[in-house]
Structure 1
Amino acid sequence: MIALAYRASISNQREYRRCIGVNRLLGLLVADTEYPELYGFDWNCPHCGVAVHLKVRKQIKNPDSVEDWYSFCICECPRRGCLGVVFVKFDNNNNRIRAAYPYPGTSEQHFPDSIPSRIRTDMAEAVRAFAADCHKSVVVMCRRALQNIALDKKIPRAEIKEQIKQMQMAGLITKPLSDAAQEIRHFGGFGAHPQEDILDETTETDALKVFRQLDQIVRNIYVMPAETKELAKRRQGIQQKPGSKS
């Protein structure tokens, strides 16, 4: 689903594949086995919106000995019509960008139209928070998106725990997806409310997994039914042509 977010803005196939790689770097692609991992300074330029390989103009080693595998770089978009400057935190051990400023923009228009606007807005904000290393904000926005799904599907207002149960009873989600939704609820609560134990720490891995769980739920409730309807419509159109076989 996330891969489809850029289809309207990326016309060149090579740039499209690069953009998929950028999304993988951010950890936002569910079908990650379809495309090879891209490393180095591949990034989605926040100035022109094109997936590029950033030019490094200056690289400075991190003076902090605890995290000496990081370096800080001043980079430039190589496109002649852009040449925008991007500040990068680079992971030398894994040969990948860990953070960058300005952050690549993500809005609700980057998600399939089959998803309701309010849910797309929440998911886009979660993506921007992930890019900014605001992991508590990611899980909170995922929980909010989950509540908006319940509202969109006319689930009676109640505690989110009960709304998830109602969605399963209504056949909107399976038992595994219901369990996933409950974990989104838990971690969203941890992000929104201070805890007295280790649960107060929301890691990048936590945020990644929570977002991917939400992505699966949204895919099953909205994206797959819409795509199935499109396929059925196309099949019926083909079958109605003279000489076609059913």
Structure 2
Amino acid sequence: MPVDLTFCDQIGVMTLNRPEALNALDHQLQADLEAALGEVEGRAGLRALVVTGAGRAFCAGSDVKDLYGVSPEEADRIVRREARICHRLADLPVPTVAAIHGYALGGGIAFALYHDIRVAAESARLGCPEIRLGWSTPYGMSLLTRLVGRGKARELLFRGHVIDAREAHRIGLVDEVVPDAELMETAEGIAREVAAHSPAGVRALKAVLNAEEGMGMREADDYECRAFRVCFDTEEARAGIRDFVEKRKRP
């Protein structure tokens, strides 16, 4: 199967499994990602999701073979489908952790950008080389700009360079760099740490962070206050305050 999905102790692990093509997003992989995301969306009790790729790459982006010889209308349909998959990933109610190794190029780096946290192996190579093929990057550019800043984003996009994991970390594209052998252990450890927190609080925080990206400061503050009120009215929040006041050690 082009996508493997496993669950253990409230953690999901989704693996793009098309290693012979560096996990490039062909029609079948797109369809399997849609099905896997549907399963994740309906999974009761899930608290975090780790996403990675099988073989030598995280994801090499769009499968250029699928774009060869097609009309502009069909090419537009293909990349819009990829963008919708990324949006569904970003809209998941639980935090997501990208475990990136090998190549994350074009649509692959965009796919990584829609995760909440990105951990890269030392082997990771990230970039937006679409300009070298004669077209602009079709989605994810606004997220890239937010993460690394206007100047660095434009440099990466206009020059089409591929950078290593250390440089990606330096500019803020990934959050942590680890040896390849420690990649999944680190990503799953982050997921377990997130899963240990109040699920209501984490889901509220994720919803707030997603919603306020297009908001002004005052609108965002109001949204955050309303989310806080909902979380405050839970037993977990009351227990947290009680433990703090009574100086009890929390797990």
Greater Rg by CA: 1
TM-score grouping bracket, smaller chain normalisation: under 0.3
> So what's the TM-score if we normalise by structure 2?
0.26
> So what's the TM-score if we normalise by structure 1?
0.26
**Which protein has greater RCO, CA pairs closer than 8 Å, 6+ apart?**
2
